[in-house]
Structure 1
């Protein structure tokens, strides 16, 4: 048991005294060795495939480890709904919060309609070969340059000033003094934020990890300081782990009918292995 304690302390010591902050980054592009960018979805080059493989291996190890303490993996959420389960289950939850499900013509599937940032949106879902949702994409279309600039600033403000997100790549605010120039910049500068652990999630995770430690370390039940110390290590370790897979990516493009914004929410726990396709 003492050897086990020493190993745990050695492995997690760097996580015991500091945890990720939503506002630590001072640069516009913060890189994490265990991060992944949703803009790479669809890229099939070897380096991407290898990075996804490595990410999936790490997540499987983390999930196995935390399952020992009765802690369910935290996943990216969209409008408070965890991105998990089957498309039918996820769609049902969207309908419960006011989304509308409308059949497409000629039985070509269905449209999910809702709203974000005071604009109508359409939703597309992607599921892995096990029929688990891993990607939710919200599409917003605007017709004028000024509307696009206002919407981009509104979206950026939602992430930039929130304590619930960490900037992997920071967003930018745009002036309407030169709309054409602003549109050109925003359509070539996608940005990515990461959902961090909120207070409610941290309280739940802390309680479950502490309970699991007490059950698995009976010799140390009377040593609160040891249990509390290890709990803090594991919680901070879990916070760092979350930085690798709760990804929100925002991009925009211009076509003949206006500007289209794409806000993608990814649950990398369910992300399929490229070899599955």
Structure 2
């Protein structure tokens, strides 16, 4: 799915949250957004999901204005994992992931093998198959996050939006999740705090005080001058044991 943001601004009670954002994400691309707390990442993600309407400007999905797309179609094509997503304590893990198939069900189309397969695949992808019958309230924060991601995957979307999905995950599951997101053959947009994780994206957008101040390939965007200006840190680039570039941070002078 191709998604395009055109001159978008968002305000709440005259307070600007996003200002004049324009960006295009091409089909199959993995785009990351980084920025300090309060820079507008979550607001941007909610606009891309169609959950918040811009004050000015437009968000287009395949050249159709997102706000005019029927809700059921939008739910089939776009999956969004928020930072603070919640689920009722009474559900099992499998029942929570089953909710991802809701947009495909109707009085004329009941639950079928296709839905069962989608749920099984999603649980397997986030390594939660063994937890399928566990109740939600018995899960840790990291396990709950993996279930939310499984529910999004069960939607079999064309566009996957993830708002800081590695929060609460231990390092092994952070690495597993990022590898999974990289391998998905769909359009993916992800908001991240970890700049080294963001370096795995095809392109990175940098938000600061509600404005998009940089957009480009990781090696272009993650430079010392920009990181010092936006994040207030000094950064040194070095090679990890596998040869991939890594950033080491210290307080900017």
Task: Please indicate the TM-score interval, normalised by the length of the shorter structure.
Answer: under 0.3
> Which has the larger share of helix?
1
TM-score by structure 1 length?
Answer: 0.24
TM-score by structure 2 length?
Answer: 0.25
> Which has the larger share of strand?
2
Which structure: larger Rg? 1
